[in-house]
Structure 1
Amino acid sequence: MLVGAHESIAGGVANAVDRQLENGGNCGQIFTHSPQVWQDPSIDDTDAEAFRDRSQKHDVGPWVIHSSYLVNLCTPKDGLRAKSIDSMQKEIDAAAQLSIPYVNVHLGAHTGAGEQQGLDNAVSALDELTVPDGVTILIESDAGSGTKLGNKFDHLEYILEESTHELEVCLDTAHVFAAGYDLSTPAAVDTTFTQFDATVGLDNLACVHLNDSKHACGTNKDEHAHIGKGKIGESGMEAFINHSAIDPVPLVLETPSEDGKGFEWNINRVRDLANDPA
């Protein structure tokens, strides 16, 4: 199975491959810079080549670039919109440089403009981007606090249908659960996948952020927990991990490092629940 974690690029982006291998992962995700500030990726050609070579040599991939947390595609503010588009374009260019197939982004918040206007703002912002062959933008499901969009499958469906780009979706289990789609039992997992397929379409699911949730279903609270140790729980996580809908979708962990458990523990936990020894 394809399972890995969001790894640091400290010391050079190629180091993310080594960290992934140390944690037992075979796919993963990175930030190209701190996600909390407006900053451009700074990856030289030598490091990019080393990243590509190590990934190929050790068969680690696919990788995903996660865009900055500051990006807001739904915003009605011209200045923030321009910064968001510029930031996304640079992430897309970095993905092409690194031969990374996916750039993941949250839609953002409409901040009072209204749900429909926010969605339309996101579509028009996305359509200003130049996306080269070999790179696909993933729209991530959101927990939906405040005026953030992407918490409803209908939102994701609308963006995919209206954009001129061939977009796909990253489903975050903690976000989906917080947004009100239950994943805590095998029956609930089946129901949620049925709802997803009827709107977004399972053929548009390219990646999963696999996280348990510290908060109950429908709370709109985004706080990740170790696999099987949160409110989704072991039964729900096991059902999700083994569901035919996500085979062979890459599973990327964004679980916390606490209680003596980190990415290695969580990757092993996923493999245990999947009965996958490799």
Structure 2
Amino acid sequence: MLRVGAHASIAGGVHNAVDEQTEYAGNCGQIFSHSPQVWQDPNIDPDNAAQFRDASAEHGVGPWVIHSSYLVNLCTPKDDLRRKSIDSMQAEVDAADLLDIEYVNVHLGAHTGAGVDGGLDNAASALDELDVPDGVTVLIESDAGSGTKLGGQFEHLATVRERTSLDVEFCLDTAHAFAAGYDVSTPEGVAETVAEFDDVVGLDDLACIHLNDSKHECGTNKDEHAHVGEGLIGEDGMRALINHEELRDVPLVLETPTEDGKGFEWNVERVRELRDDE
């Protein structure tokens, strides 16, 4: 069954995200538990949490993903930022437990001078400090790889998994992978990229795909998303991703823009149009 949805707002209460998702005709999705631009703990009312759980079950919406704050940097060598990042992630996995959300998604962050190996070590040891509730899994997201940010190479993801004691899984962002140099604009490129991901990381641990097209060329490390099939990955690449036999059961979460009169509802429908059996 095709699982596709989009990032939804929790404005007015986290339960409202379910109604928004159904308006997009989505059946899975992603939320922020608070503003991603500030250091802030989730402020989720228990009654709203119960409404979220009940509505998700009633409408068959799931899995859900909580996306961590943009400020979190697991790779940092700076003690204060490291502590804030760990505390923020702990609050996120606890919020996921309250909401019966399966996944918390996080970028590795930037090593800012610690070096690639040092940054990956920092990320692994930061993950080791989390007390993750049963039923919640931390997902490490692939990155566009600009500056000293890590996660652009599949080897970075595999290395962190090897070095941490936490059972982690992964989220592959198609626009990020494209920006990092994995050319998924053709069926052949998709096949090669998926095979490489399987060889280096393992498809068994791929829990979610952020399905985004890209406004920038492959390998530019520029992260700017486009509507499905209308960016430089294009329709051929998107169709190949959506229909790849090894990816067909992986939930697709859209982080596409709202512009040109098109939003999440348009993009969810576009995914369904590109799916062979829909």
TM-score > 0.5 by shorter chain: yes
> 1:91 — aligned with what?
92
> 1:154 — aligned with what?
155
Aligned partner of residue 140 in structure 2, secondary structure:
strand
Using the size of structure 1 for normalisation, the TM-score is 0.99
CA-to-aligned-CA distance 1:30-52 (integer Å, 9 cap, x gap): 00011000011000110000000
CA shift, 1:99, in A, is: 0.2
Find out whether 1:170 has 2:165 as its counterpart. no
Using the size of structure 2 for normalisation, the TM-score is 0.99
> 2:187 — aligned with what?
186
CA shift, 1:161, in A, is: 1.5
> 2:12 — aligned with what?
11
Partner Cα separation in structure 2 for residue 249 and residue 268 of structure 1? 17
CA shift, 1:276, in A, is: 4.6
Given residue 88 of structure 1, which amino acid in structure 2 is its aligned partner? M
CA-to-aligned-CA distance 1:11-43 (integer Å, 9 cap, x gap): 000000000000100000000011000011000
Find out whether 1:267 has 2:268 as its counterpart. yes
> 1:60 — aligned with what?
61
> 2:201 — aligned with what?
200
- Matched length: 277
> 2:49 — aligned with what?
48
Given residue 89 of structure 2, which amino acid in structure 1 is its aligned partner? M
> 1:256 — aligned with what?
257
CA shift, 1:244, in A, is: 1.1
CA-to-aligned-CA distance 1:159-194 (integer Å, 9 cap, x gap): 112211110000000000000001000000000011
Find out whether 1:132 has 2:121 as its counterpart. no
> 1:219 — aligned with what?
220
Partner Cα separation in structure 2 for residue 208 and residue 160 of structure 1? 18
Partner Cα separation in structure 1 for residue 19 and residue 247 of structure 2? 26
| Structure 2 residues not aligned, in runs of 5+ | none
Partner Cα separation in structure 2 for residue 207 and residue 117 of structure 1? 27
CA shift, 1:147, in A, is: 0.1
Aligned partner of residue 245 in structure 1, secondary structure:
coil
CA shift, 1:205, in A, is: 0.3
The answer to whether the 8 A contact 2:18-2:52 is kept is yes
| Structure 1 residues not aligned, in runs of 5+ | none
CA-to-aligned-CA distance 1:204-247 (integer Å, 9 cap, x gap): 10000000000000000000000000000000000010001212
Cα RMSD (Å) of the superposition? Answer: 0.6
Partner Cα separation in structure 2 for residue 191 and residue 224 of structure 1? 22
> 1:32 — aligned with what?
33
Given residue 179 of structure 1, which amino acid in structure 2 is its aligned partner? A
Partner Cα separation in structure 1 for residue 20 and residue 161 of structure 2? 33
Partner Cα separation in structure 2 for residue 130 and residue 89 of structure 1? 7
CA shift, 1:275, in A, is: 3.5
Partner Cα separation in structure 1 for residue 4 and residue 42 of structure 2? 25
Partner Cα separation in structure 1 for residue 158 and residue 139 of structure 2? 12
> 2:242 — aligned with what?
241
Partner Cα separation in structure 2 for residue 134 and residue 147 of structure 1? 32
> 1:76 — aligned with what?
77
Partner Cα separation in structure 1 for residue 276 and residue 60 of structure 2? 21
Runs of 4 or more above 3 Å deviation: none
Aligned partner of residue 29 in structure 1, secondary structure:
strand
Partner Cα separation in structure 1 for residue 142 and residue 133 of structure 2? 24
